[in-house]
Amino acid sequence: MRATVVKSGTASSLSANFNGKAITTDITATQIAIWNAGRMPIKRADVLKPVIITLPVAVPILEASLRKVSHDVTNVTLDETAPARNQVGVQFDILERNDGCVIQLIYAGLPDAPITVSGVIIGQHGPQELRYAGSISSPAGQYVKSQRSNRNVGWFAICAGSLFTVLIPFVWHTRRRRTPATWVDRFTFIMPVILIAIGIFLLSSGTPEPPFGFR
């Protein structure tokens, strides 16, 4: 999950400095989850090569912090003494199954800057990156999707109600000649009205949009 904190090139009274130097690029915040997905616990002694989060050389990390830790006994800490400003190390005493942490990085770079995690652990492959295959909609996207869904369902209900308005009386009249009408038949006769009313309601209602739109 990434979010732009400061956008470069926009008119704003907000400025950012790092170690006395002005930052002229975007400033992005991202959260990274690291956990043990295996069955066996991982101890500090099992780490043959430190676990390090790395960004491109031109993307310095401004701040690294722990946002969440599964258990206190894991004793997860961040090592920011790496010689490169674009790296941060992750240390721990033990990670049992499904134990881990969420790390927040604030860096000077674009939201799409590549992030890698490296390290070597006894009996394990290197850290594996998991990516969400879907997409998380923005507020504007969620609004458009909600309105589109309401329109589709609304028009479907109106079309179905209109079709039933033509078919049900014919079927009901034909059946009435053979058997007396029941309460089910009478209820079915008003279904088109209900469907059309639902369709009109969905088309005329929906989540209100801010008068200034989404950005």
Per-residue pLDDT band for 26 (boundaries 50, 70, 90) equals confident
**Fold topology of 2-121:** Immunoglobulin-like (2.60.40)
Residue 179 — very low, low, confident or very high, per pLDDT cuts 50/70/90?
A: low
Point out the least confidently predicted range of 7-11, 57-61, 203-207.
Answer: 7-11
Average pLDDT along the chain = 80
**Confidence band (pLDDT; 50, 70, 90) for 212?**
very low
112: three-class secondary structure by DSSP: coil
Residues across the chain? 215
DSSP for residue 103: E
3-state SS, residue 151? helix
The proportion of the chain whose per-residue pLDDT surpasses 70, expressed as a percent, equals 74
- CA atoms of 130 and 135, how far apart (whole Å): 14
How many beta carbons lie within 10 A of that of residue 26, not counting itself? 20
Half-sphere exposure (Cβ direction) of 23: Cα atoms closer than 13 Å: 24
Which residue would you say has higher pLDDT here, 16 or 115? 115
pLDDT of residue 127: 80
The model carries a pTM of: 0.59
pLDDT digits (tens, 9 = 90+) for 70-112: 989 999 999 877 656 889 999 999 999 889 999 999 998 888 8
Listed by start position, the domains of the chain span 2-121, 139-204
